[in-house]
Amino acid sequence: MTKFTISDLEKLRVSAAANLTLRESSNTLTSGICCSLSTGTPKMQILVCGGTGCKASASHTIADNLKSAIERENAGDRVEVITTGCFGFCEKGPVVKIIPDNTFYVHVKPEDADEIVKKHIIGGERVSRLLYTDPKDGHAVSDSKHIDFYRKQVRIALRNCGFIDPENIDEYIARDGYRALAEALSGKRSRQDVIDEIKKSGLRGRGGGGFPTGLKWELTAKEKSDIKYVVCNADEGDPGAFMDRSIMEGDPNSIIEAMTICGYAIGASKGLVYIRAEYPLAIHRLRVAISQAENYGLLGKDILGSGFDFDIEIRYGAGAFVCGEETALIHSMEGKRGEPTLKPPFPAQSGYKGKPTNVNNVETLANVPVILQRGAEWFASIGTEKSKGTKVFALAGKINNVGLIEVPMGTTLREVIYEIGGGIKNGKKFKAVQTGGPSGGCLTEKHLDTPIDFDNLVAAGSMMGSGGMIVMDEDDCMVSVARFYLDFTVEESCGKCVPCRIGNKRLLEILNKITEGKGTMDDLKMLETLGRTIKDTALCGLGQTSPNPVLSTLENFYDEYVAHVKKKECPAKQCKALLTYAINPVKCMGCNLCAKHCPAEAIVGTTRKPHVIIQEKCIRCGMCLSRCKFNAIVVC
């Protein structure tokens, strides 16, 4: 164990930075040449995405195969394979990047490793079939800097994700890691200075609430107590949002540094990370980072010789969405059911084990070290008047470029969906974008030019939430989307307060009725009244926001609700009970394929003669539709 002083840290930074020069230089390289060992490039690196999405497509096997291919070419001393955190461009995963020429390979398979090494690394020729193709003009783009998906992004919280090896603390240090902490502990910044800087930056909580972070720290700092706690809320429960996991997987040290700085500022010496047990890779990387930081004396007793003590422990969540609410989270950490309690008292006054506790979300914390290094003014210069900096969004659904993106606050939905996201999948028509997860709402075409920030989204009837952004097209039924979210909330309600436990259940029942074609116009009125009542009377954030998906779809897609009720029709052809499958006898070639795959044996007919669906037997699973090669299945 090496106990670091501040000068040791600076020395390590210089030597570690040398190892990163290759990668840093590729960020500014513009020549577009293809580097290789045969053309005299002395050292090369292959970055392989090790995020959960790419790992699900065997990126670890790709890394292994690359290593063996390099061995076979006897190039082990000149080429290094590095597994990084998430690159963000999940749609194109697994992703592999070649340094220093910045070549970006997409949809890489384990069997491509040999060709990448032989052709590119040794031979100096790009593997063109693995390059990204610009959907606009069909041209191959080799350098990731020139891909639209990345061009508009500003990466602050994700600054190191997909760039450094998350399991090597030296690479974090090389990227100015632990510099902000060292500065604070060296006496250059007093506790109040740190808090003031965060306040001045305008940083607001990224977990959903948008509460000013500096103010939260100040409130906890003011409390007089022998023991205080810093808690990192990593219980990312919003279905479809995975930025916190990506940050922990790709840059765990930034969280550790930020928590330590927070501990110093508020006078706490104990940190706890409350993380979902379903995130094994993030837990692993966090553990590795904690032990490496402890080894360097960046955690533990007398950090950097300053006399300040701080350590971090990991607590597991066990799958309860409500635990993202800070009082519920604290109860869960105490070994209890994660039920929220009324505030005040705020956790700043009485939190974990009754002691003052500061709870911040992962993405919020990831911004802290950069703000202190580059200054509050710099951070405040990005974003809108009341929402500073950037926000990470998990862009998913019916969009071409699914992935994790980070954009300045104030970017419009249109820029996100059409420029970064590459537009709607399969040339379909945009219908809505859902932000804020189960607590948010659906925004429509008329909101596309709204600059995204905390307040604008609320004004539009949705919310920022943790940053899930699900794009929907003309084939999505908004009534069943509302039902999907309500189903989630009902399942996740802790049951403590009546409006949430019973009110949401009633909302769900009404929505089920409507999607089954049994709704009445009175039901629509009831949805609205009941939704507003729950909003006003539920105890915690989960209950108060749970009717949002219903209220916002009612407002923006009222006609669709009416079609379900009055005409007993689902315009998007999604609600099973309202659909009829039939075969167009003109188009049907009698190939038997649908009949063979129909799980209900509901299709009859003789070969080469038009087939018929027996409606009484049809279970409306859509199997025939997906199987028919002649577009002969009609849904009405």
Partner 1 sequence: MAEIKLACNIVSQVEAICDKHNNDPGELINILHEAQSLQGYIPEEMQRLIAAKLGIPASKVYGVVTFYTFFTMTPKGRHPISVCMGTACYVRGAEKILDELKRRLGIDVGETTPDGKFSLDCLRCVGACGLAPVIMIGEKVYGRLQAADIKNILDELE
Binding site for partner 1 (CB under 8 A): 52-53, 56-57, 90-93, 237-242, 245-246, 277-278, 315-321, 332-338, 353, 394, 396-398, 402-403, 434, 437, 468, 470, 472, 476, 481, 484-485, 488, 494, 597, 599, 619, 621-623, 626-627
Residue 567: exposure state from Cβ atoms within 10 A (0-12, 13-18, ≥19):
exposed
- What DSSP element (H or E) covers 391? strand 390-397
**Residue with smaller CB distance to partner 1, 174 or 624:** 624
Question: Nearest 5°: phi and psi at 573?
Answer: 60, 50
Residue 118: CB atoms within 10 Å: 15
In the bound complex, what is the minimum distance in angstroms from residue 576's beta carbon to partner 1? 9
Q: Which is nearer to partner 1, 292 or 556 (CB)?
A: 556
Using the minimum distance from each CB to partner 1, give the nearer residue, 324 or 547.
Answer: 324
Q: Shortest gap between Cβ of 605 and partner 1 (angstroms)?
A: 20
Rounded-to-integer distance, Cα 267 and Cα 367, Å: 20
CA distance 158 to 254: 10
CB closer to partner 1, 93 vs 202:
93
**Residue 451 bridge partners (DSSP):** 412
In terms of CB distance, is 132 or 242 closer to partner 1?
242
Q: Provide the Cα torsion 491, 497, 502, 503; round to 10°.
A: -100
Q: Which is nearer to partner 1, 324 or 531 (CB)?
A: 324
Minimum CB separation of residue 245 from partner 1 in Å reads 6
Query: How remote is the C-alpha of 343 from its chain's centroid?
Result: 28
> Which tokens hold the place of 570?
């689902």
User: What is the DSSP code (8-state) at residue 158?
Assistant: T
- Identity of the residue, 278 or 528, whose beta carbon is nearer to partner 1 in the bound complex: 278
- Taken as a whole, the chain contains a residue count of 636
Q: What is the CA radius of gyration of the chain?
A: 27
Q: Centre a 10 Å sphere on the Cβ of residue 10 and count the other Cβ atoms it contains.
A: 13
CB of 296 to partner 1, least distance (A): 27
Nearer to partner 1, 298 or 486 (CB): 486
User: Measured from the CB of residue 320, what is the shortest distance to partner 1 in angstroms?
Assistant: 5
Closest contact distance (angstroms) between CB of 380 and partner 1 is: 31
For every residue of 242-311, DSSP letters joined together read -HHHHHHHH-HHHHHHHHHHHHHHHT--EEEEEE-TT-HHHHHHHHHHHHHHHHTTSSBSSGGGSS--BE
Contact call for residues 329 and 233 (beta carbons, < 8 A): yes
**Under 8 Å between Cβ of 479 and 553:** yes
Q: Nearest distance from residue 497's CB to partner 1, in Å?
A: 15
Q: Which is nearer to partner 1, 215 or 618 (CB)?
A: 618
**DSSP per-residue letters across 336-375:** S------SSSPTTTS-GGGS-EEEEEHHHHHHHHHHHHH-
The residue (of 304 and 633) whose beta carbon lies closer to partner 1 is 633
User: Looking only at Cα atoms, what is the longest distance across the chain?
Assistant: 87
Residue 40 CB, nearest approach to partner 1 (Å): 37
Distance of CA 241 to the CA centre of its chain: 4
Six token digits for residue 443? 């925004």
Q: Is the separation of the CB atoms in 580 and 597 below 8 Å?
A: no
Q: How far is the CB of 504 from partner 1 (least distance, A)?
A: 17
Q: Which is nearer to partner 1, 331 or 391 (CB)?
A: 331
Min dist. Cβ of residue 306 to partner 1 (A): 31
Distance CA 178, CA 184 (A): 10
How many Å apart are CA 405 and CA 420, to the nearest integer?
8
Whichever of 301 and 336 has its CB closer to partner 1, that residue is 336
Please list the residues that pair with 397 across neighbouring strands. 471
- Residue 54: both structure tokens together: 């790419």
CB of 489 to partner 1, least distance (A): 12
Q: How far is the CB of 52 from partner 1 (least distance, A)?
A: 5
